[in-house]
Structure 1
Amino acid sequence: MNRTLLALLLAATTSCSCTLAQSGPTGAGLAISGTVSGSVPAQARVGGFVIDSSGNPVAELVSVAVTGGRFGLELPSVTPPGGALSTLRPASIFWPGLLEPVSVSGQASTADLKFYVYNDSNGNGRRDDTEPLQETVAFVGKSLLVVSYATGAAQVNAARGFQVNLKPGWNGLLIEVGKVVRVSSSNSIGGVTLNVQR
């Protein structure tokens, strides 16, 4: 019995990267919290939407009510819809501060996530087609927040010292653009300001 359990556990931990991509990273998901500023509706919710290569929202993965101008959410450890994933290559990356020459090491497919605010007018805790989305820009201090999913480990390098090490699952990237582009990452990002765009 014990040998059978051990074999099953060993098989689970040594399974291929595609299994990891389906189940998401081990441990806690990516936690994000902060405040919402700008034109905020009375029954506002913050929704995390996977976007396509054109920047259009494809699917809402998570949402939370805005309470007292604040929000806090955790992205689920699930793979984004297949239509949102694209092979990671220099021409498919549209992050702030990314200047040529751009190089990619490792093989992965990625999908980016954006935060939108909407008025949950019927209070059902999710967005309906009749509830328009308001795009936001996410900042932490002087840094822009980029949220990206990767199916495997990869590295992105670009001009002005830009370097990102993606891990399998959700990545929270803080990008500060200046003469040198500084990028840091974390599994728990607080102090986020979501500025609602008109």
Structure 2
Amino acid sequence: MKPASTAFLVLALAAGQGVALTVAGTAEGAGPDTRIAGFLVSPFGQPLQEIVSVPVENGRFRLEIPTTVPSARAQVSLTPQNVSWPGVIDPITVSSPVQAAELKFFAYRDQNSNGHRDDQEALREVPPMSSNATLFVTWVSGDVTVTASRGYQATLKRGWNAFLVEVGRAVAVQPFSDNEVVSVRLRR
């Protein structure tokens, strides 16, 4: 870990087929009004809808990602032209037509303590990492496999999916297991 002056979050993510996705962890250096949130994002990564957020209390938090279907405005038809996931480089293939929605993690200061983000509260994207791999979380409407160059292959099941993606000379994609620990850096 980096020096204590750099804020880190340690997340434990538990994902199982047919069960809720849970993100739990600790935060070093987070202010008393810091919240950790999961946002549905556009294909370009812009936050669309906060679906879950919790305060960091005593340096800890626990997010329960809802098992409900993402809103229609967050869903897109998954095509080779709109896959902008970590590690995906042309040529891209999508095995079957499905709808997809991506979840990204953000931190913000809940300045008015109302329990959700308001327009004046700045968002900071906090991508979860495990060693050199990035945690990627997506929802799909049906089973699908996405392949791309440099060995990228992700097989997704209907519902929420979590993967660790490591980009090097080849791209390694591994399903995220409930015993993995990832860290997120909060930038000031």
**Which amino acid in the other structure matches residue 87 of structure 1?**
S
Q: In structure 2, how many angstroms separate the alpha carbons of the residues matched to 1:194 and 1:142?
A: 12
Give the letter aligned to residue 147 of structure 1.
V
1:28 partner amino acid: V
Contact 1:35/1:194 (CA < 8 Å) preserved in 2?
A: no
Choose the corresponding residue for 2:145, options 155, 158, 167: 155
Rounded to whole Å, the distance in 1 between the matches of 2:44 and 2:166 is: 23
Unpaired segments of 5 or more residues in structure 1?
A: 1-24
> For 1:83, what is the secondary structure of its paired residue?
helix
> Would you say the 8 A contact 1:41–1:118 is kept in 2?
no
Q: Which residue of 1 aligns with 2:160?
A: 170
C-alpha distance in structure 1 between counterparts of 2:27 and 2:152, whole Å: 28
Distance in 1 of aligned mates of 2:96 and 2:50: 28
Q: Contact (CA 8 Å) 1:40, 1:117: kept in 2 or not? A: no
Please identify which structure carries the higher strand content: 2
Distance in 1 separating the partners of 2:156 and 2:180 = 20
Report how far residue 127 of structure 1 moved.
1.9
The ranges of structure 1 where at least 4 consecutive aligned residues each deviate by more than 6 angstroms after the TM superposition are: none
The alignment's TM-score, normalised by the length of structure 2, stands at 0.82
**Identity of aligned pairs, percent?**
38
| One-letter identity of the residue aligned with 2:72 | G
Question: TM-score, structure 1 length as denominator?
Answer: 0.78
Higher helix share: 1
Alignment equivalent of 2:66, drawn from 54, 59, 76: 76
What is the aligned residue count? Answer: 173
Amino acid across the alignment from 1:129: D
1:101-112 equivalences in 2 (<5 Å): 101-112=91-102
Structure 1: distance between partners of 2:46 and 2:64: 22
Runs of 5+ consecutive residues of structure 2 not aligned to the other structure = 1-15
Q: CA offsets, 1:63-98, max 9 Å, x none?
A: 111134433212111111111111111111111211
Alpha-carbon separation, structure 2, partners of 1:108 and 1:35: 35
Quote the Cα distance in structure 1 between the aligned partners of 2:151 and 2:126.
Answer: 27
The answer to whether structure 1 residue 30 and structure 2 residue 10 are counterparts is no
CA RMSD of aligned residues (A): 2.1
1:40 deviates by: 3.7
